[in-house]
Amino acid sequence: MTLGGVNTDYFTGDFTYVPLKAKSYWEIGLEGVKLNGATVDSTTLSAVVDSGTSLMAGPTEVVEAIAKKLGATKILGKEYILGCGKTYEIAYSIAGQEYSFSNDEMNIADGPLCIFGMMGIDIPAPRGPLWILGDIFMRKYYTKFDIGQERLGFAAAKKASVVV
């Protein structure tokens, strides 16, 4: 985490900026969500970027439909498991650009089964419905929280490495 700037050691390229829809919770507009190129949600028009949420989260009905298409099994009430060999791509359309994730970027490996990196959560109106783009999103897209200009910036994150 860098306060008051950015650390170029952790991203490549330029930032793509997205204006905030609401300042209170880093809310941005969302044009849709796709699974393997097919739209699975075009009615939830907001997302928040939240480092306090480990997975991606979205409306329960939509997440259940995605999980069913992937052959995932529900566990612990909100989470899903699936075979680690299952290949797929999920993309979020934000400000005319797609932010995509392969199965390897979404899944959390646990032996031959993986935890699907998405869970259902229903945020009631007037705040919701919305998607929460959690740590999985920020692992792939370095995120700049720019309160001064009321926007979020996204750039391709470099692969994380451990320095000892």
Note the pLDDT tens digit of each residue in 16-69: 999 999 877 899 999 999 999 999 999 999 999 998 888 999 999 999 999 999
Contacts of 140 (CB under 8 A, 6+ apart): 99, 101, 105, 156, 157
Residue 118: pLDDT over 50: yes
Closest to 137 (Cα-Cα) out of 38, 62, 33: 33
Could you identify the residue written with the tokens 């507009």?
29
What is the pLDDT, as a whole number, of residue 76? 80
Name the amino acid, one letter, at 5: G
Residue 81: pLDDT over 80: yes
Contact in structure between 81 and 72 (CB atoms under 8 Å): yes
Mean pLDDT of the chain: 89
**Distance (Å, whole) CA 146 – CA 122:** 27
Residue 141: pLDDT over 60: yes
Contact in structure between 29 and 46 (CB atoms under 8 Å): yes
Residue 162: pLDDT over 50: no
Name the amino acid, one letter, at 132: I
What is the pLDDT, as a whole number, of residue 78? 82
- What stretch of H or E contains 120? strand 118-120
Query: What CATH fold (topology level) applies to the domain 14-157?
Result: Cathepsin D, subunit A; domain 1 (2.40.70)
Residue 71: pLDDT over 90: yes
Mean pLDDT (whole number) for 2-10:
71
Residue 62: count other Cβ atoms within 10 Å of its Cβ.
19
**Distance (Å, whole) CA 27 – CA 158:** 25
Tens-place pLDDT, residues 9-22: 778 989 999 999 98
Closest to 48 (Cα-Cα) out of 24, 29, 26, 31: 26
Q: The whole model's pTM is what?
A: 0.90
